[in-house]
Structure 1
Amino acid sequence: MSAEEDFEQVGAELADLGVRISGMMGRPALKDQAGKVFASLQRDGAMVFRLVRDTTEHATALKLPGASLFDPSGEGREMKDWVVVPHSSAGEWTDLAEAAHSRPR
């Protein structure tokens, strides 16, 4: 499946939790019932998750091959609560999205 299809699948699997697919800065995003983004699909096919640093889920995500902290500017200003997970680890996306959704913001 493509990254877009895998992203759509994650959204469908979390719909019962009140998650909806929307947009953020021109990219597909997952939002909670309050309208807050907790995950987004990137142009390169990776997905970024708000997992909150110093949590088990955050550490686990960073251990996935190719995963990194999210740096939207590309200038070394990482958003330390957000982890980018490549499409090669799409099998982990639903669990990570569920963890990101359940974390307090």
Structure 2
Amino acid sequence: MTPDELFDDIAADLAHRGAISGAMFGKRALKAHGKAFACLKDDRLAFKLGDGTPAHAEALALQGAELFDPSGNHRPFKDWVAVPHTYAAQWPELAEAALSSLTS
């Protein structure tokens, strides 16, 4: 499954919780309550998990994962982790965690 197809599946699965597809920095994003919680850039899906949370630490520990730098100018967002497509099986769980962090 391509990153775009998986993104669409995650959006559909989270729609009942108020998630909608939108854009962030010109990239596809998932939003809820007016705030982005996931953003697709190339073959990585970035999740807003909150710096210092267990979910953030676990995502960042995945090989190839890194803090999300949407501009590519070495100014990463400390609350966001970009997870490569290699870990696509974990994307839905990470999206759930990111969405939950918006509402807690």
Q: Do these two structures clear the TM 0.5 threshold for a shared fold by scoring above it?
A: yes
Partner Cα separation in structure 1 for residue 72 and residue 24 of structure 2: 18
Q: Give the TM-score, by structure 2 length.
A: 0.91
Deviations 1:24-69 (Å, cap 9, x if unpaired)?
A: 232111010x221110110x22101100011010001011121001
Root mean square deviation, CA, Å = 1.4
Unmatched segments (≥5 aa) in structure 1: none
Alignment correspondent of 1:55: 53
Unmatched segments (≥5 aa) in structure 2: none
| Pair 1:104–1:30, CA change in 2 (3 A) | closer
Overall identity of the aligned pairs, in % = 49
Letter paired with 1:17:
R
Partner Cα separation in structure 2 for residue 92 and residue 47 of structure 1: 10
Higher strand share: 2
| Pair 1:81–1:27, CA change in 2 (3 A) | same
Alignment correspondent of 2:34: 35
- Aligned structure 1 segments of 4 or more residues deviating by more than 6 angstroms: none
Count the aligned residue pairs: 103
Partner Cα separation in structure 1 for residue 17 and residue 72 of structure 2: 33
